[in-house]
Amino acid sequence: MYSKDILARLATLLLLASSSSLSFAQEGQCKKTVYLTFDTGNMSVAETVAEILSRQKIKATFFLSNEKTNRGDFALDDSWKSYWQDRVREGHHFGSHTFDHVYFIKDGPSADIYAKPQFGLKAGVTILYNEASYCREIRRVDDRFKELTGASLEKIWRAPGGKTSPRSIGMGTQCGYQHIGWSPAGFLGDELSPQTHPNQALLDKASINLKDGDIAMAHLGIWSRKDPWAPAVLEQLIMRLKNRGFCFATLPKVDK
């Protein structure tokens, strides 16, 4: 007789094989699209996410910031060079999440805004940014990414926490970067408490509520959640969406 562990592994392999066959069949015929995106976060599940995306043969869009990781370094340090180079080779897309993970606070006087970097030399200090200084904060990620990988970002960015105003979005636009948020159903909840939002509930909710054209958002690791979301939810969510006839695409959206 087979042990329960062996039977469970066989069941998982059969499910993955079935999903892979379905994905090949759907490539030329699926009618719905979802955009899977990841913000850097603390990078604790970065390798897990990469392995799942590769196994499921889908592409995602990553929004990068020089955030502190669970290894004690930072996401755009040289120590992460090979990770980002591998993702470039795999054909994923990349956008800016502001270099120092700068949270918008409020509009300021004249045409300026107040924002607070979470990392860097002025971490925790509320700063008045004009269009030029805010543009530098967005563009610094692009410059650093080129140093690490030789590739450029897409001309897209995402404000930390999704906190914006028309003025801050306009600053990014004048800098040449389109702001990308996420859809209401696309908030995948990986930063919520597992006590009130267990992984199974988050999986069920996203599996049902995501619709054609939605942008979904999670992180490559998050400090506030002790029960990691990605290992428990990501692959099952991808397979469920494939079963609903979804394809996965990268940002920015391409006009049909």
Spatial CA neighbour of 67 closest among 75, 59, 58: 75
How far apart (Å, rounded) are the C-alpha atoms in residues 107 and 104?
A: 8
> What is the average pLDDT value for the chain, to the nearest integer?
91
pLDDT of 15 over the 50 cut? no
Residue 20 pLDDT = 44
DSSP assignment of 166-192, as one string?
HHHHHHHHHTT-EE----GGGB--TTS
| Helix (H) or strand (E) run with residue 8 in it | helix 4-26
Q: How far from 123 is each of 45, 95, 96, 103, 184, CA to CA, in Å?
A: 24, 22, 18, 11, 29
Which amino acid is located at 131 in the chain? E
Residue 256 pLDDT = 58
- Between CA 97 and CA 109, with CA 103 as vertex, the angle to 5 degrees is 120
pLDDT of 22 over the 80 cut? no
Residue 181 pLDDT = 98
Confidence of residue 1 (pLDDT cuts 50, 70, 90): very low
Compute the CA torsion angle 120, 124, 130, 134 (nearest 10 deg).
40
In this prediction, residues 123-132 reach a mean pLDDT of 98
pLDDT digits (tens, 9 = 90+) for 194-227: 999 999 999 999 999 999 999 999 999 999 888 8
Q: How far from 25 is each of 22, 78, 239, CA to CA, in Å?
A: 5, 39, 13
Percent of the chain with pLDDT over 90: 85
Residue 30 pLDDT = 82
In this prediction, residues 79-108 reach a mean pLDDT of 98
Residue 165 pLDDT = 98
Is-contact 117 102, C-beta < 8 A? yes
pLDDT of 5 over the 80 cut? no
Is-contact 131 110, C-beta < 8 A? no
pLDDT of 192 over the 80 cut? yes
Confidence of residue 28 (pLDDT cuts 50, 70, 90): low
Give the burial string for 63-83 (b: 16+ CB within 10 Å, else e). bbbbbbbeeeebbbeeebeeb
Structure tokens at 7: 């039977």
In this prediction, residues 176-195 reach a mean pLDDT of 97
Which amino acid is located at 179 in the chain? H
